[in-house]
Structure formats: structure tokens, C-alpha cells
């Protein structure tokens, strides 16, 4: 602070000019160092490392996506096979049940409501429900629809 009070205006101008000149020299030196062959080689090496790293990342990503796609395809195939096996088992079971009971046709063809008219209750034909006005509802509650056949509940 004392320097600026004791220095004349010309001294301060010359000091500012020297500071500006030193700053410009430092900037020129930095620019020449940045454009030197060694600096260019370092930049090229960094760029090559960056390109190689990006290629490895892309390769890992592609491998991961391929693995996920294979797993999804395997899962879908397993689920489809499971569904097909389940359907085949159900169909075979239904056919076996139909053959054992001598039944041919669908559930709507099999059930004509005669069980309700006869008063089937708990598997005992001919036993009517206790409530006369509600006997169809009670008898219907006691029937099971089992694989296309309506069977009374035993129990």
C-alpha cells in the first residue's frame, strides 16, 4: 500500500505495462507448449485410451444384451413348453375321465337340470330339500361342476 502512495503516476503505468507483458509471455509459452509435438502425442495417447475404453464398454453392453435376450428366449420357451404340457395333461385327463364315465359332449349337453327337479341333495337321489320354495337353490349349491360333468357333492 505504501508503494502506491509513494510511486508516481508514471511508475504505476510502467509497472502495469510490465505485468501485462509478463502475462502475455506466459500465455504465449503455454500455447507453444500445448502445440509442441510431445503435447500432441500425449493428447493422441489419451484419445486412443478413451476410444479403447468406449469400445470395451460397448462390447460389454452388447454381450449383456445378448445374454439377456438368450435368457428371455429360454424362459419363454420353457413357459410355452410348460403350458403345452399342462394343456396336454388336462386334455388327457379329461379324455380319460370321459372314457371312464362313458361321457361324450360338453358340460352344457350333460347338465339338463334333472338333478334339481329330482331334488338331488348331498349325493342322495330322491331326498328333497327341507325348504320347499328354495329347493332349487339349495340343490344347486350342493352340486359340483367337475370337468364337464355335474356331480353331486358327497359328504
pLDDT in tens, 53-91: 999 999 999 999 999 999 999 999 999 999 999 999 999
Cβ atoms of 25 and 33 within 8 Å: the answer is no
Q: What pTM did the predictor assign?
A: 0.39
Cβ atoms of 82 and 76 within 8 Å: the answer is no
Amino acid at each position: 500500500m505504501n508503494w502506491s502512495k509513494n510511486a508516481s503516476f508514471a511508475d504505476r503505468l510502467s509497472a502495469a505495462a510490465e505485468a501485462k507483458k509478463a502475462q502475455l509471455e506466459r500465455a504465449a509459452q503455454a500455447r507453444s507448449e500445448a502445440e509442441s509435438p510431445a503435447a500432441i502425442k500425449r493428447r493422441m495417447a489419451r484419445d486412443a485410451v478413451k476410444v479403447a475404453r468406449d469400445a470395451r464398454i460397448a462390447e460389454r453392453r452388447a454381450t449383456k444384451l445378448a445374454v439377456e435376450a438368450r435368457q428371455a428366449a429360454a424362459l419363454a420357451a420353457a413357459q410355452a413348453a410348460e403350458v403345452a404340457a399342462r394343456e396336454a395333461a388336462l386334455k388327457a385327463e379329461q379324455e380319460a375321465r370321459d372314457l371312464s364315465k362313458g361321457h361324450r359332449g360338453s358340460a352344457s349337453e350333460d347338465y339338463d337340470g334333472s338333478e334339481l327337479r329330482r331334488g338331488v341333495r348331498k349325493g342322495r337321489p330322491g331326498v328333497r330339500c327341507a325348504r320347499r320354495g328354495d329347493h332349487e337353490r339349495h340343490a344347486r349349491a350342493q352340486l359340483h361342476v367337475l370337468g364337464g360333468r355335474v356331480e353331486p357333492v358327497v359328504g
